[in-house]
Amino acid sequence: MYPAFAPLSSLFGYFMKNKQSPTFARSFLAALVFISMIGPLGMNIILPSLSAYQDVFNTDYASAQLTLTFYLAAIAVAQLIYGPVSDRLGRLPIIFFGLTLFMVGSVVSLMATSIEMLVFGRIIQAFGGCAGMVMARAMVRDRFDAENAASLIAYMTMAIVVAPTLAPALGGVLEDQFGWQGSFVFVLGFAVIVLGFVLAKLRETLPAERRHDVHFSVMFLAFFHLLRNPAFTGYALQVSFFTSAYFAFLGGSSFVMVDLMGLTASELGLIFVGVSVLYILGNFFTARLAKKFGVPRLILFGSLVSVAGAVLLLAWHMLYTLGPISFLVFMALIAFGNGFGISSGLAAAVGADPSRVGAASGLAGALQIGFGALSTYVTGSLLAYYETTPTPLLLVILGCCVLGLLSFVVGRYKTARMSALETY
């Protein structure tokens, strides 16, 4: 079986294994996977068409790239809104709204006659696609405790990663066969199918008695309370920094491996697949081991593995000549550790305050994307200044991994100290 499809086999094998348990309904988890895939699929499928946008809309590459930049920014902002609003209205209305908005954005993008109209359509797409990403985590945490939630989010992540891994290849085929509009037709059709599946199979997980009124002032107050919660901040920052290490890799790998090492774009694509497979593998082991070892131990293990990989990556560069193979090996090690730490950390962050699950899901996701975007900007700026060495990229990756480990350790220490004081 092709490695990228292995997560789907494992996920649905897991559904079959647990088909007798009502809490592990196959249709429930399958629906969460599909709504979570919408946002990443829409984000990455247009990458092969960026050059085409220059010709179609008579613009430069920097303007064409705004279709990706603003998509990412819109996801970060939307996550802050959807979580708290869902705590008042329920999860399903947000999912229906998001899917509908994603389809509207796809139509606007498909009909775009200028780069500005395309960027606007992409912003609408992102706001819609983000809803499923936030609601899937919240719905899992509504129904399961921390260990079960970490296990299920890990299984979901394994399948969801297929979307951004294969989306550029799919987008390239659609671009060659049907032009730049092909990708938007595909995601529009996929969203229609997902909406039908959700209508038929997904049920509300937040009962009316657990909902509460929300206003924007209350929403930001919820964020304030969460940021003062050491358990939430520890886990959320740990996830954000480790995600930032991967975003730095995405932002800097093209310059390092194509411009400095001489790889072709297709060879770089194989590097991305290799790194993604190890990340998926880390999530697979997390799903299998979360109940046995608990979330904190898995996060600590994953954090140490990622830091070790980052240290070895920089040390190899300083002592030897960093090449494509060594870069792949050490980045794969970092990704493997991230597979343990990110899914477990998200589950723990979302469940850190049971009365603010939706707000926690939105804020944790916004921090994750926001920190990742910042790391990409920092990496690109440093590589542009130091044009002949990959050292800035390696330092950013190492710094993010170390900060992720420190965030987890400090968060655990402050949480234990607070619990001790309350008990006393």
- Residue 61 is predicted with a pLDDT of 53
130: which residues sit within 8 A by CB, 6+ positions away?
A: 39, 74, 75, 78, 79, 82, 98, 365
Residue 176: band (very low, low, confident or very high) from pLDDT cuts 50, 70, 90: confident
Check whether residue 207 and residue 266 sit in a common domain: no
Instruction: Specify whether 241 is located in the same domain as 151.
Output: no
Which pLDDT value is given to residue 395?
94
Residue 90 and residue 174 share a domain? yes
Taking the CA atoms of the chain, what radius of gyration do you get in angstroms? 21
Tell me what pLDDT residue 366 has: 80
The candidate with the shortest Cα–Cα distance to 34, out of 272, 259, 193, 270, is 193
Instruction: Please state, in angstroms and rounded to a whole number, the distance separating the CA atoms of residues 373 and 43.
Output: 14
Structure-token match 């040390």, residue found = 315
pLDDT, mean of residues 11-22? 44
- Of 166 and 346, more confident: 346
Please check whether residues 103 and 44 belong to one and the same domain: yes
Q: What is the pLDDT of residues 222-244, one digit of tens each?
A: 888 888 888 899 999 999 999 88
Range of the domain at 115: 1-212
Instruction: Give a three-class secondary structure readout of 258-280.
Output: HHHCCCCHHHHHHHHHHHHHHHH
**pLDDT for 180-228, tens place per residue?**
888 899 999 999 999 988 888 777 777 666 666 666 677 678 888 888 8
- Cα separation, 339 vs 394, whole angstroms: 19
Taking 50 as the threshold, does the pLDDT of residue 18 lie above it?
no
- Are 194 and 243 part of one and the same domain? no
**353, 226 contact by CB (below 8 A):** yes
- Is residue 30 very low, low, confident or very high in pLDDT (cuts 50, 70, 90)? confident
Rounded Cα gap, residues 359 and 79, in angstroms: 9
State the amino acid at position 41 in one-letter form.
L
Residues 20 and 155 reside in one and the same domain: yes
pTM: 0.69
Q: What pLDDT sits at residue 384? A: 66
Does one domain contain both 228 and 177?
Answer: no
Average pLDDT, the chain: 79
Instruction: Give the torsion sign (CA, 341, 75, 39, 34).
Output: positive
What CATH number is attached to the domain comprising 153?
Answer: 1.20.1250.20
Per-residue pLDDT of 353-384, as tens digits, reads 877 776 787 788 788 888 877 777 777 778 76
- 309 pLDDT above the threshold of 70: yes
What is the three-class DSSP state of 228? coil
45 and 186 Cβ atoms separated by less than 8 Å:
yes
The structural domain count of the chain equals 2
246-286 pLDDT tens trace: 877 876 776 677 677 877 655 666 777 778 788 878 878 88
Domain boundary pick from 212, 231, 263:
212
From CA 152, how far away is CA 139, in angstroms rounded? 11
Query: Is the same domain home to 286 and 375?
Result: yes
Q: Are residues 236 and 154 in the same domain?
A: no
Burial of 75 (0-12, 13-18, 19+ CB in 10 A): buried
Whole-number Å distance between alpha carbons of 241 and 403 = 6
CA nearest neighbour of 398 among 373, 377, 374, 379: 379
* Amino acid at site 178: F
Task: Give the span between the Cα atoms of 36 and 408, in whole angstroms.
Answer: 26
- End position of a domain, from candidates 162, 196, 212: 212
Are residues 134 and 229 both part of a single domain?
Answer: no
Q: Are residues 104 and 189 in the same domain?
A: yes
Q: What is the pLDDT of residue 305?
A: 94
Token duo for residue 363: 């804020």
Tokens encoding 110:
């498909």
Q: Using a pLDDT cut of 70, give the percent of the chain over it.
A: 79
d(CA 209, CA 297): 34
The pLDDT score that the predictor gives to residue 15 is: 43
Following DSSP, what letter does each residue of 115-161 receive, concatenated?
Answer: HHHHHHHHHHHHHHHHHHHHHHHHHHHHHS-HHHHHHHHHHHHHHHT
Pair 226, 352: CB distance under 8 Å: yes
Looking at the fold, whether 36 and 9 belong to one and the same domain comes out as yes
Nearest Cα residue to 363 out of 230, 241, 220: 220
